[in-house]
Amino acid sequence: MSEGAAKNEEKPSKFQAIRGTRDLLPPETALWNRVEQTAHEIFATFGFGEIRIPIFEQTDLFARSIGLDTDVVSKEMYTFEDRDETSVSLRPEATASVCRAYIEHGMQQLPQPVKLYYMGPMFRRERPQKGRYRQFYQIGAEVLGGSDAPAIDAEVIEMVMTFFDRLELQGVQLDINSIGCRECRPKYVELLRAELLRVKDKLGPDSQRRIETNPLRVLDSKLESEQGIIATLPHIADHLCEACATHYSAVKHQLEMRGILFRENWRLVRGLDYYMRTTFEITAQGLGSQNAVCGGGRYDGLVELLGGPPTKGIGFAIGEDRLILSLQESGKAPAQQGRDVYIAWMGERAHATAIRAAKDLRKAGFSVELPAVEQKFGKALGQADKLGAKHALILGDNEVSEGLWTLKTLADGSQQKLTEPQLLDFLRKL
Ligand code: AMP
């Protein structure tokens, strides 16, 4: 075929990851693994066990728990009709599924409270930007059953803070609030609605709509022009019933007993309907406007709403993407996935020795790169350097017949001759 003909032939179109989704690649995935490993370790020390729940559920589960008027349910869920005509949705969060599982498996029969954690992808059709994706990852935990003792709220918060501390997350700020219960919150919401109606024309269209659907969410507004008005609105703390006020002050006391610094933020409400009493949010540095890395709160009554027995509940969800971004911004990310040893071999006999050496070194836990084809030593050393290898093991005919291998340390160029046991010994001591 002539060159011209080849050019005219249509190339198959390329694929791209769907907007709002992305590939996570090495070396970044090493950081993801470190974060997840740390979560497994820390959460286990608090007595939490891992639960793995399905990626999709009946749409109704989310509609009933998260709330029909929330952004998440009204416009962000990936919902489709299954072949048997049931409506299913990709999970936009995991609390509803964990509660469903608690009921489905009769976990109220277990010693209470049941402490569970999860990690994995969630799906919301939001406008993508830095720190906001349509497929994003959460690490979260739930405490279900038992009492609503303020010490539980505080311990859950302590667990997240311990996790962040272990990861050396920078600029961590914990905000807390109480949004009352079924008794006192509706009264406050009505008061708020009345106040908002009086200043309706000064509010933007989103807030105007929320006066009807969800007045609490107006407090969340970041619109510059609304800040002055919001500052004059009544605070929920002044309208909590006695039980909620007592609970809130006990939570604060419990946090102080644990040495956890917090800021009270009366405007902190959460976007999902099921929350009551304690709510909290944690922000971290380096994230711009999407700086919330964790949101959580108490949701007594949610299990009941989903058809289970009356059950207390509290939990949180950490945005793993944002956590990783913040760690990267503060230089806590591994630069490259290096190799301990790059084996530069030449000749058939050396290849056989190299294969055996690689096996032994890997068995001892070292990361080894064994090139598949023979290369000149100069080229092999260049390759070792590019891969960020710490050492190059040079195996040629001489080395194999002498039984003395050459190990070159790439950082300083030093070289030494070692027998195989000496080599393992030397690497182990580093
Ligand atoms: P929520 O489930 O809405 O309470 O969110 C809990 C945490 O998940 C937030 O603080 C964020 O860190 C993270 N998060 C929520 N939505 C997204 C998203 N679209 N992209 C990335 N992270 C998100």
Looking at residue 273, its pLDDT comes to: 73
198 burial via Cβ count (<10 Å: 0-12, 13-18, 19+): exposed
Are 175 and 69 found together in one domain? yes
Model confidence at 5, pLDDT cuts 50, 70, 90, reads: low
Q: Please determine, for residue 403, whether its predicted confidence score (pLDDT) is greater than 90.
A: yes
Determine the pLDDT at residue 331: 87
What pLDDT is attached to residue 126? 95
Q: Are residues 256 and 136 in the same domain?
A: yes
Tracing tokens 């709510």 back to the chain, one arrives at: 279
**Tell me: the pLDDT tens digits for 276-321?**
999 999 999 999 888 999 999 999 989 999 999 999 999 999 999 9
Q: Are 324 and 293 in contact (CB under 8 A)?
A: no
C-alpha atoms less than 13 angstroms from C-alpha of 143 in its C-beta half-sphere: 24
Residue 290 lies in a domain: yes
Same domain, 315 and 370: no
How many domains does one find in the chain? 2
In a domain, 112, yes or no: yes
What tokens does 100 get?
Answer: 């469903």
Q: 366: domain CATH number?
A: 3.40.50.800
Q: Give the model confidence (pLDDT) of 352-402 as tens digits.
A: 999 999 999 999 999 999 999 999 999 999 999 999 999 999 999 999 999
CB 258 within 8 A of CB 158: yes
> Which residues have a Cβ under 8 Å from the Cβ of 285 and sit 6 or more positions away?
170, 171, 291, 326, 329, 330
pLDDT in tens, 230-284: 999 999 999 999 999 999 999 999 999 999 999 999 999 876 778 899 999 999 9
Residue 213 in any domain: the answer is no
Q: At what angle do helices 95-104 and 59-66 cross, to 10 degrees?
A: 110
List, as one string, the DSSP characters of 271-312.
Answer: SSTT-EEEEEEEE-SS-TT--EEEEEEE-TTHHHHTTS----
The reported pTM is: 0.91
The mean pLDDT value for 66-92 works out to: 93
Query: 370 with 290, same domain?
Result: no
> Which tokens go with 192?
């708020």
Question: Does any domain span residue 190?
Answer: no
**Residue where a domain terminates, one of 329, 363, 387:** 329
Give the structural domain span for 69. 28-184+240-329
CA dihedral 100, 106, 107, 111 (to 10 degrees): 160
CATH number of the domain where residue 73 is located: 3.30.930.10
Residue 152 maps to a domain: yes
Q: What is the pLDDT of residue 2?
A: 52
Examine the domain organization and report whether 69 and 144 are in the same domain: yes
pLDDT range class, residue 50, cuts 50, 70, 90: very high
pLDDT digit string, tens, across residues 160-195: 999 999 999 999 999 999 999 989 999 999 999 999
Residues 308 and 397 in one domain: no
Q: Which atom of ligand 1 is nearest to the CA of 270?
A: 4
Question: Angle, to 10 degrees, between the axis of helix 28-45 and the axis of helix 320-329?
Answer: 120
Determine if ligand 1 sits within 6 Å of the CB of residue 220. no
Q: How confident is the model at residue 36 (pLDDT cuts 50, 70, 90)?
A: very high
pLDDT higher than 60, residue 334: yes
Q: What is the identity of the amino acid at 295?
A: G
Pick the residue whose CA is nearest to atom 1 on ligand 1: 295
Q: Are residues 291 and 388 in the same domain?
A: no
Residue among 19, 142, 287, 322 whose CB has most ligand 1 atoms within 8 A, to mutate: 322
Whether residue 281 sits in one domain with residue 169: yes
- Ligand 1 centroid to Cα of residue 319, in Å, is 5
Which one of 24, 138, 274, 294 would you pick to mutate in the ligand 1 pocket, going by the greatest count of ligand atoms within 8 A of its CB?
138
Q: Domain check: are 81 and 165 in the same one?
A: yes
User: What residues does 140 pair with on adjacent strands?
Assistant: 118, 317
Q: How far is CA 83 from the centre of its chain?
A: 32
